[in-house]
Structure 1
């Protein structure tokens, strides 16, 4: 492999950013997540209301070391468990789900490097991640038949690849040091080009107008015959051509974000009911917290949340156990996909339920714009659209009833 040109990528690391802390282990990762979440929660509602992009906050986040916690121990990282990773994502997403979503693709891309990169590529990219550099993404496109019907092309020319196309839903690209772009070669094989910020022909456009997850800047990336050095391009098709856990890993992070949204909505429900809500006139009680039907609904929400969190942790433990094996089989991937699918059903449903029940239980006053509590439902509704949960029911049922293994791709 040719040497990576450090000068070509130096513009990806802003001069005013410090080198990131390197987290040592799982316990430290969780402790740092709670510490950072308390800081990120301050102003989260205002950022959403004003659609103020979190440039400063994302620097706090990556410099905390949390973006590097999945770098393998052999390359200087903490190599945390998936139980820990999902807990970290859940904690951050509860504080600010847009910030919780921003590293989702980053973690998946670190996994792609671990699965498909050469030794030199791993040393280079993992070193960059440990230093605090961030991956955005350029995967999905608008106007195609489905999410894997890609028009973006990647073609080899001597020691470079040429990438051409237009992407959308490019979460994190605006804040990224590298924008990994997925394109197809002449044989319809997928390649990931990790394009440094500032590369000629790469344009990241802030045109995301979704009513939820408003500060993810998940808009357009334009690639006008972008030239990328060969060492920065990886054979992404291998993560699906062969049995790997990349799909379940990508999906469990999405589920953790939804669990965090649900937790935040329930916490705000409790706070509002305790401090502002009134009991219903027919309840015969003086305080909303003593209204028996409100108490019943609060109990139901917690049961549903705890069930979702339990399946999320179970799925993470399944992935941890399978990842520890020397090799991963098709049966292993299917087992992991089904476990994550079960968790994702419940995290989706509790995120939507909790964010809607908030208003029913808190009352009319909770709808006032000054509280901005509708952000929980908006975030839940938009984020859970990444893939339809109705197909998770089908995936799980088809596996148990007919023995059909889920298709291998990033959404399973």
Structure 2
């Protein structure tokens, strides 16, 4: 069979999105994880679009991938969110295509394998503290710990985990998801993104071979780390963009087919009511604005990737430009998206709040995603840079 081309993969996106959209509101309300959709995604090429042509992949761009994320999120934001770690792994391959790790794992990605994992832990005094241990035992190692925010891990074929070794130094592993001692749990209890499978993983004396140690996460170049932080943040904002597209489609369909005009409206139907038209128009404008902001960040990431691969002399400036563009957009996207999700309820009366429609999922999902990288912190970092030239957060590639 001929490999799928970039053009062929992207041409099939609308059909995949339509399939994901089927029963999405009901699925979220009932808490049913969409395993069948991830089996579908493995066959579409959408999960390997970013694999470079030098490794046999389609060589898609950041702009392509951001559109994939937003489009999937416009059908089901949990599915799009659950791909975050996998797409992050693809980025590592795209930025270092000649490494042994990239050559090894690109083969798996190109046959539909999905990569997940977890690095964060809860119950520590501060975020990013690691208590999971990787200790040597003869010619192999043992991994023990309790991870959280394992977004998408329950759907994955391979899992990556961070840990500390016997000297207290950070390290990491990549292992098959079905390894004995790995218990991936569907225990995410957030009010939103309920189907992103962002729960926990218990690692109970998991045997790790020396060949499965993976140091890329902790020994990467500062420019790749900074670039990767932007990509991780942008993924979430692309999910938010998709949610607002879903808000617009829900508002339009509701007004066209179910909503009644208000008791005191001068119009016989909701679709002819000027205030309802204004509300839907405002949502459309908000959606367009958010799409424009994420597209601009994606454009900067494509430029940043090219500069990293070429080791460009202005690499620092190019990466910083991507960080600034993304940060500025991120501050505004959350505000605009929450407003759009709220406006949806102005398209109708009490019936717009019916649980069967599950319109409230949009606000809950946006609010939950915005808690990952608080806009107030991002705005402060931008302000400190503009006023004082301080760029510590950008240089460290922080993801709040």
Is 1:358 the counterpart of 2:340? The answer is: no
Displacement of 1:242: 5.0
Does residue 1:285 correspond to 2:267, yes or no?
yes
Contact preservation (8 Å) 2:261, 2:348: no
Cα deviation 1:364-383 (Å, max 9, x = unaligned): 10111222222222222222
Using the size of structure 1 for normalisation, the TM-score is 0.88
Please, which moves more after superposition, 347-356 or 168-177? Answer: 347-356
Matched, 1:98 2:78: yes
Q: 1 CA distance for matches of 2:280 and 2:202? A: 46
Gap change, CA 1:135 and 1:141, over 3 Å in 2: same
Preserved CA contact (<8 Å) 2:262 2:348: no
Query: Which of 246, 253, 259 is equivalent to 1:271?
Result: 253
1:276 Cα deviation from its structure 2 partner: 2.2
1:182 aligns with 2:162: yes
| CA distance in 2: counterparts of 1:354 and 1:189, whole angstroms | 45
2:279 to 280, 297, 319: 297
| 1:222-267 Cα shifts (integer Å, max 9, x gaps) | 1123222233322211236455411111111111111001110121
Distance in 2 between residues matched to 1:269 and 1:142, nearest whole Å? 38
- State how far apart, in whole Å, the 1-side matches of 2:398 and 2:12 are: 28
Q: How far does residue 138 in structure 1 lie from its aligned partner after superposition?
A: 1.1
1:408 alignment partner in structure 2:
396
Q: How many residues align?
A: 392
Greater displacement, 365-374 / 82-91: 365-374
- Report if aligned partners of 1:63, 1:132 keep a CA contact under 8 Å in 2: yes
Q: CA 1:283–1:362 in structure 2 vs 1: closer, same or farther (change >3 Å)?
A: closer
How far apart, CA to CA, are the structure 2 residues paired with 1:324 and 1:300? Answer: 37
Q: Hey, what's the Cα distance between the residues in 2 that align with 1:40 and 1:24?
A: 22
Write out aligned runs for 1:201-350 (5 A).
Answer: 201-235=181-215, 236-239=217-220, 241=222, 243-244=224-225, 245-325=227-307, 326-327=310-311, 329-350=315-336
SS in 1 for 2:187: coil
CA distance in 1, matches of 2:85, 2:371: 16
Aligned to 2:380: 394
Work out the CA distance in 1 between the residues paired with 2:213 and 2:321.
30
Partner of 2:15: 35
1:28-67 aligned within 5 A: 28-67=8-47
Show the counterpart of 2:90.
110
- How much does 1:397 deviate? 2.4
Q: Determine the C-alpha separation between the residues in 2 that align with 1:62 and 1:190.
A: 32
1:7 corresponds to: none
Match of 1:11 in 2: none
Residue 399 of structure 1: CA displacement? 2.7
Q: Is 2:125 the partner of 1:124?
A: no
> Which 5+ residue runs of structure 1 have no aligned equivalent?
1-18
Q: Give the deviation of 1:77 after TM superposition.
A: 1.1
- Cα deviation digits, residues 133-170 of structure 1 (max 9, x gap): 11112121111233312212234566544322111111
Partner residue, 1:15: none
